[in-house]
Amino acid sequence: GQQVMQIPQYQHVQEGEDFTTYCNSSTTLSNIQWYKQRPGGHPVFLIQLVKSGEVKKQKRLTFQFGEAKKNSSLHITATQTTDVGTYFCAGRGSNYKLTFGKGTLLTVNP
Amino acid sequence: AAGVIQSPRHLIKEKRETATLKCYPIPRHDTVYWYQQGPGQDPQFLISFYEKMQSDKGSIPDRFSAQQFSDYHSELNMSSLELGDSALYFCASSYTHGYTFGSGTRLTVV
């Protein structure tokens, strides 16, 4: 079945440093979504990417969808303590099933 | 704006008891999903409903069942509870793009 791998599992950065998490799917995706879950909270939808090679920005966050629609990345520029949380990618396959990656837990040292 | 409402927020049950979790999706969202999230884990898909009909089934144990009612709220029924069922249970609803998650029900089985 469809698998979505996400790395790294953990990332600790100093405030102001950049952060990137990567997602790789075993199958071609129709779209990929990104979620953020704060400690003790629930996943919050950030963005959906649909087109091959798509790049979207939300302030300091940059999301990319690979040309083959099998990989994606989330890059945060100049992290802040408010960026702390677990970032999940979730890929939707041709069967419309949404599969979550394992998530990357980001911690930021002020 | 209305969000996905889940109740109860916390639930403590003993082994072999039953539990019922409720979810009220965002009005006009046509699909409801149930996820189970263990500590430090990614959300695991259990079951979904599209327009009150079961649309997909994931790793839901036979001891669990769910339904969506005429008013679109959904209930997850869990019987013969086991210690391993202790987790956060999220309901999410969607219409087109990303999922909107509820705040979850934290189930503790003792």
Q: What is the mean pLDDT of residues B34-39?
A: 95
Check pLDDT > 80 for residue B55. Answer: yes
Look at residue B69 in the predicted model and tell me its pLDDT: 95
pLDDT confidence of residue A60: 98
More confident residue, A42 or B1: A42
Q: How many helices (H) and strands (E) does chain B have?
A: 0, 11
Judge: B103–A42 Cβ closer than 8 Å, yes or no.
Answer: yes
- Contacts A–B by Cβ distance under 8 A: 43
Per residue in B58-98, pLDDT (tens digit) is 989 999 999 999 999 999 999 999 999 999 999 999 987 78
Least confident of A92-101, B31-40, B44-53: A92-101
The yes-or-no verdict on residue A93 having pLDDT over 90 is no
Contacts of A97 in chain B (CB under 8 A): 45, 56
Identify the pLDDT of residue A106. 98
Q: What is the mean pLDDT of chain B?
A: 94
Which of A98, A100, A102, A105 to mutate: most B Cβ within 10 Å?
A98
Q: What is the mean pLDDT of residues A47-73?
A: 97
Cβ proximity of B66 and B55 under 8 Å: no
Distance to chain B for A47, nearest Cα, Å = 7
Please answer whether residues A33 and A23 qualify as being in contact, where contact means their C-beta atoms are separated by less than 8 angstroms: no
**Region A59-76: what's the mean pLDDT?**
97
Residue B6 burial (CB < 10 Å; 0-12/13-18/19+)? buried
Task: Write down the pLDDT at residue A96.
Answer: 75
Using CB atoms, which residue from B41, B90, B97 is nearest to A42? B90
Considering CB atoms only, which of A45, A97, A103 is closest to B98? A45
B25 inside 8 A of chain A by CB: no
Give the pLDDT confidence score for residue A95 in this predicted structure: 74
pLDDT at B1: 64
- Chain A contact residues (CB < 8 Å to B): 33, 35, 41-48, 88, 96-103
Q: Which residues does A82 contact at the CB level (< 8 Å), separation at least 6?
A: none
pLDDT at A1: 73
Buried b (16+ CB within 10 A) or exposed e, A45-54: bbbbbeeeeb
From CA B92, how far away is CA B4, in angstroms rounded?
A: 7
Strands B10-13 and B105-109: parallel
Q: How far is CA B91 from the centre of its chain?
A: 4
CB contact under 8 A, A102 and B103: no
Provide, as residue numbers in chain B, all residues whose Cβ is less than 8 Å from the Cβ of A33.
Answer: 97-99
- Mapped onto helix, strand or coil, the DSSP state of residue B83 is helix
Q: What is the predicted pLDDT for the residue at B102?
A: 96
Cross-strand bridge partners of residue B56 = B48
* pLDDT tens-place string over residues A3-57: 899 999 999 999 999 999 999 999 999 999 999 999 999 999 999 999 999 999 9
- At residue A101, does pLDDT exceed 90? yes
pLDDT for B110 beyond 80: yes
Q: Cβ of B10 under 8 Å from any chain A Cβ?
A: no
Cross-chain residue pair B56–A45, CB shorter than 8 Å: no
